[in-house]
Amino acid sequence: MRICIHRGSKQIGGSCVEVEDEGQRLLIDLGLPLDAESNDSQHLPAIQALDGNDPSLLGILISHPHLDHFGLLAHISPNIPIGMGADARRILSAAAPFLPNNPPIPSSGWDYQSNQTFGIGPFKITPFLVDHSAYDAYAFLIEAGGKRLFYSGDFRAHGRKSALFYRFIEKPPCNIDALLVEGSSLSRLSSDQRFPSESEIEDQLVQAYSATDGMALIHTSAQNIDRIVSILRACKKTGRRLVIDLYAAAILEATGNQNIPQSDWPDVALYVPQSQRIQIKKNAWFDLLKKHSKNRIFIESLQESPKKSTILFRPLHCSDLEKGNCLEGASYIYSQWEGYWERGTYDKLKDWLEYHNISKQSVHTSGHASPADLKNFVEALAPKKVVPIHSFMPERYADLYTNVEQHHDGEWWKI
């Protein structure tokens, strides 16, 4: 088996790996770089047959539905089969109509079932469901030519699915020839530091809500399902309802999991901001709105009891909340990657918050494993060699593991 990291040997995001055996090829992830200013074809790595005209490219396996792992699917042939978790596929389809710039909807292909092996040409693929901030995320065991490659994807051990991590390291696959393992935390944490657990985030949210005299505006991704659960659990503990919009309602429904908060739960309310009402009318989404309108509220309800509401906030809510005089005593809780804030994505929102004298509070944890959990993961798999990927500091791998073998972007190597 031959392997090439097209992007990711020295950076986080934009991941893409190619594997080849007997002249047949698979790609693992095709991500948009995190520093890309726009999603366009110039970011595609130099890979043969992305136009769909070469049958040696059998398909693309997407590990999870974050843009830095699937975003460049927008620029390839729809005839190339795409592997993905079935829940993740539904989430991306539900999200796409609401989002700008025509986000990619993966072509049909293989729907993963955890621990269920399937074949693609000379390759045997076994996906493993992992704990990550993206819902329905997977690692892969890839077998071909008598060799076994393991691709970790993005994972952690401190989310609401942490049991997956501990079950995996108790009974991992054996005889791994090479392990491609992420190291996102190595540029952020020392070896003895760890990220807060999702349960600790819930406790921090309880404190933040309790200290808020008005509405709590919590700014997070509706696709971070673990965080939505934490937000709602904190709401219940503080006597608040969770207010979502139609986009969030559609995402939560797309999980297909009735244990995940849904728009018809008694402690969840639907508020449709004006810009979304325009979308509904323009696109005739009336059936979608009706489906989620059991607990629909209007601006008057938010005005009457702001202290009893936590709104799953996005900048499109600004105008409604301002015109509705809903901001007295409000707090703003930022609960996503700090990089978006630092690189200017929310500069207009910063000005809006300053104008209304609302300070920013950050309550967040990473979707990636801490150094100690990375070490436990690698020790459990006991690979013959450890290859860095998805890290700004591949040189730190040698501090955690033996038998590290670094490869550069664009370099082909064998196992």
DSSP 149-176: EEE--S--SSSTTHHHHHHHHHS-----
Ranking 8-12, 103-107, 117-121 by mean pLDDT, the lowest is 103-107
Q: In the listed set 340, 362, 384, which residue is the last one of a domain according to the structure?
A: 362
Q: What counts of helices (H) and strands (E) characterise the chain?
A: 14, 20
At residue 37, the pLDDT reads 85
Statement to judge: residues 208 and 184 lie in one domain: no
Statement to judge: residues 114 and 254 lie in one domain: no
At residue 100, the pLDDT reads 83
Statement to judge: residues 106 and 244 lie in one domain: no
First to last CA, the chain: 6
In this structure, are residues 202 and 168 in contact, taking their beta carbons and an 8 Å threshold? no
Tens digit of pLDDT for each residue in 296-334?
999 999 999 899 999 999 999 999 999 999 999 999 999
User: Could you give the residue ranges of the DSSP H alpha helices within 75-224?
Assistant: 86-95, 162-170, 198-210
Q: State yes or no: pLDDT of 102 exceeds 80.
A: no
Residues across the chain:
415
Statement to judge: residues 342 and 255 lie in one domain: yes
Q: How far is CA 397 from the centre of its chain?
A: 24
In this structure, are residues 63 and 140 in contact, taking their beta carbons and an 8 Å threshold? yes
In this structure, are residues 232 and 261 in contact, taking their beta carbons and an 8 Å threshold? yes
At residue 105, the pLDDT reads 86
289 three-class SS: helix
Statement to judge: residues 245 and 164 lie in one domain: no
CATH number of the domain encompassing residue 324:
3.40.50.10710
Statement to judge: residues 80 and 226 lie in one domain: no
In this structure, are residues 88 and 106 in contact, taking their beta carbons and an 8 Å threshold? no
Statement to judge: residues 134 and 211 lie in one domain: no
Q: What's the predicted TM-score (pTM) here?
A: 0.95
At residue 103, the pLDDT reads 78
Q: In the listed set 362, 384, 400, which residue is the last one of a domain according to the structure?
A: 362
38 three-class SS: coil
Statement to judge: residues 220 and 108 lie in one domain: no
CATH number of the domain encompassing residue 120:
3.60.15.10
Percent of the chain with pLDDT over 70: 100
Number of Cβ within 10 Å of residue 167's Cβ equals 12
Question: How many Å apart are CA 205 and CA 22, to the nearest integer?
Answer: 53
Statement to judge: residues 233 and 382 lie in one domain: no
Domain total of the chain: 2
Statement to judge: residues 21 and 152 lie in one domain: yes
pLDDT class of 104 with cuts at 50, 70, 90: confident
Statement to judge: residues 356 and 386 lie in one domain: no
What token pair was written down for 377?
Answer: 């993961």
Tens digit of pLDDT for each residue in 46-86?
998 899 999 999 999 999 999 999 999 999 999 999 999 99
Tell me the average pLDDT of the chain: 96
Statement to judge: residues 138 and 73 lie in one domain: yes
Say which residues have a Cβ less than 8 Å from residue 388's Cβ, sequence separation at least 6: 9, 10, 181, 183, 394, 397, 404, 406
Q: In the listed set 341, 362, 383, which residue is the last one of a domain according to the structure?
A: 362
Tens digit of pLDDT for each residue in 385-413?
999 999 999 999 999 999 999 999 999 99
> Tokens 């530091």 identify what position?
193
Percent of the chain with pLDDT over 90: 93
In this structure, are residues 89 and 62 in contact, taking their beta carbons and an 8 Å threshold? no
Span 37-51, average pLDDT: 90
Domain residue limits at 172: 2-190+367-414
In this structure, are residues 21 and 415 in contact, taking their beta carbons and an 8 Å threshold? no
Give 197's DSSP letter: P
Phi first, then psi: what are they for 256, rounded to 5°? 70, 15
At residue 207, the pLDDT reads 98
